[in-house]
Amino acid sequence: MITDHVAILLGHSLDVARLNKKKTRSDFYAQVAVPPSAAPAIAELVAAVYPGVALSAIEVNFSTNAQQAKPFPGVPADWFVFRMASQFAPELYEADGATRIDHTTARSKFFAGMKVRVSTSAWGWKNEFGKSGASFNLLGLMDAGQGGERLSIGNGANNSAAAFATHANPNAVPSNPTPAGTPAPAGNINPFAQAAPADDANPFAQAARAGNINPFAQA
């Protein structure tokens, strides 16, 4: 079972549903990295949706950190990265597996780099070209009770404070202080925003590497 494996949380929106990349609906989501030993459990979930179909023929966004366009820092190269989403708030639990965490407080509880266990299921779809694929439902997330090193990605810390420290004016008074975590105003234009990848981009188009254990890798 996928819950048997401890994952690294890479990013999330567990507290509020956000518009997806295709702007078709709003989802709660979590992106995680799982160890190579979890690959068979993920394959089993997809096989349940596509019984008797070769997994290598199914388009699944499930690739190693080394295969990411921008590998996640602090995550082993051979760990698999995948994303789960749901239109409904996921069930969140403390490390005891019984105490529920209110999803509205998730941003202060869950951080990038935290060790978690995930509950997920797969669902099948076909794209406009008739290609079969699978995505993952976000059912629940549990604190694995193992802490984790906070990563400088997603909801993690960054080095801005240290970089600005040498330029600080201790006598300065904030003219219009903004609470940390305040969302950017609507219509904000990010000059560094990159175009989203093509909808039919296939993350498994690369030739399989020697020793690759990705059950969805296509030749």
Burial class (CB in 10 A: 0-12, 13-18, 19+), 143: buried
**Domains identified in the chain and CATH numbers:** 2-151 (2.40.50.140)
The answer, as to whether pTM is greater than 0.95, is no
pLDDT digits (tens, 9 = 90+) for 97-119: 999 999 999 999 999 999 999 99
Q: H helices of 18-126, where?
A: 39-49, 106-109
pLDDT for the residue numbered 178: 47
pLDDT digits (tens, 9 = 90+) for 16-39: 999 988 778 899 999 999 999 999
* Structure tokens, 30: 């979590």
